[in-house]
Structure 1
Amino acid sequence: MQRETSAGAAILFDDVGKTYPQKGAGSVMALEGISLEVPAGAITGIIGRSGAGKSTLMRMVNGLEKPTSGRITVGGRDVGAAHGAALREIRREVGMIFQHFNLLSSRTVLENVALPMEIAGVPRGQIRTRASDLVARVGLEKLANRYPAELSGGQKQRVGIARALATEPKVLLSDEATSALDPETTQTVLKLLADINRDLGLTVLLITHEMAVVRDIASHMAVIDGGRIVEAGETYDIFTTPQHPTTRSFLSGVTGVTLPRFIAEQMVTERPEGPAREVIRITFLGDKATDPLLAQMSAALGLDVNILAGAIEEIGPRPFGNLLISVPADRGAEARSYLETHQQRTEVLGYVR
Structure 2
Amino acid sequence: MSQPSSSGAAIRFDAVEKAFDAPGRRRVVALQDVTLDVAAGDICGIIGRSGAGKSTLLRMVNGLEVPTSGTITVDGRDVGRAKGAELRSIRRDVGMIFQHFNLLSSRTVYGNIALPLEIAGIPASQIRPRALDLIARVGLEEQANRYPAELSGGQKQRVGIARALATQPKVLLSDEATSALDPETTQTVLALLRDINRDLGLTILLITHEMAVVRDIASHMAVIDGGRIVEAGPTYDVFVQPKHPTTRSFLSGVTGITLPAFISDRLQATRPDCASEEVIRVTFAGNHATDPMLASLTAEMGVGVNILAGAIEEIGTRPFGNLLISVDAAKGAEARSYLERHGLLTEVLGYVR
Query: Partner residue of 1:288?
Result: 288
C-alpha separation in 2, matches of 1:102 and 1:241: 38
Number of residue pairs the alignment of both structures matches: 349
C-alpha separation in 1, matches of 2:24 and 2:264: 52
Query: Partner residue of 2:96?
Result: 96
Moved more, 304-313 or 38-47: 304-313
Contact 1:256 1:322 in 2 (8 A): no
Q: Deviations over 1:251-279 (max 9, x none)?
A: 22123512333344454444445544332
Q: Which runs of structure 2 are paired with 1:200-219 in the superposition (5 Å)?
A: 200-219=200-219
Query: Partner residue of 2:86?
Result: 86
Query: Partner residue of 2:156?
Result: 156
Alpha-carbon shift at residue 144 of structure 1 (Å): 0.6
Contact 2:41 2:203 in 1 (8 A): yes
Structure 2 residue 226 is the aligned partner of structure 1 residue 226: yes
Q: Deviations over 1:38-62 (max 9, x none)?
A: 1110000111111111111111111
Query: Partner residue of 2:64?
Result: 64
Q: Which runs of structure 2 are paired with 1:25-174 in the superposition (5 Å)?
A: 25-174=25-174
Q: Deviations over 1:144-202 (max 9, x none)?
A: 11100000111100000000000000000000101111111111111111110011000
Q: Percent identity?
A: 75
Contact 2:14 2:71 in 1 (8 A): yes
Contact 1:280 1:349 in 2 (8 A): yes
Query: Partner residue of 2:13?
Result: 13
Distance 1:323 1:272, change over 3 A: same
C-alpha separation in 1, matches of 2:227 and 2:267: 37
Q: For residue 61 of structure 1, give the secondary structure of its aligned residue in structure 2.
A: coil
- In structure 1, give the amino acid aligned to 2:281: R
- In structure 1, give the amino acid aligned to 2:62: N
Q: Deviations over 1:83-117 (max 9, x none)?
A: 11111111111000011100000111011011100
Moved more, 325-334 or 182-191: 325-334
TM-score w.r.t. the length of structure 1 is: 0.94
Stretches of structure 2 lacking an aligned partner (at least 5 in a row) = none
Contact 2:6 2:39 in 1 (8 A): no
C-alpha separation in 2, matches of 1:76 and 1:268: 51
Query: Partner residue of 1:235?
Result: 235
TM-score w.r.t. the length of structure 2 is: 0.94
- In structure 1, give the amino acid aligned to 2:141: E
Q: For residue 102 of structure 2, give the secondary structure of its aligned residue in structure 1.
A: coil
Query: Partner residue of 2:314?
Result: 314
C-alpha separation in 2, matches of 1:59 and 1:278: 47
Q: For residue 254 of structure 2, give the secondary structure of its aligned residue in structure 1.
A: coil
Query: Partner residue of 1:333?
Result: 333
Distance 1:170 1:300, change over 3 A: same
Contact 2:118 2:127 in 1 (8 A): yes
Distance 1:120 1:272, change over 3 A: same
Structure 2 residue 298 is the aligned partner of structure 1 residue 298: yes
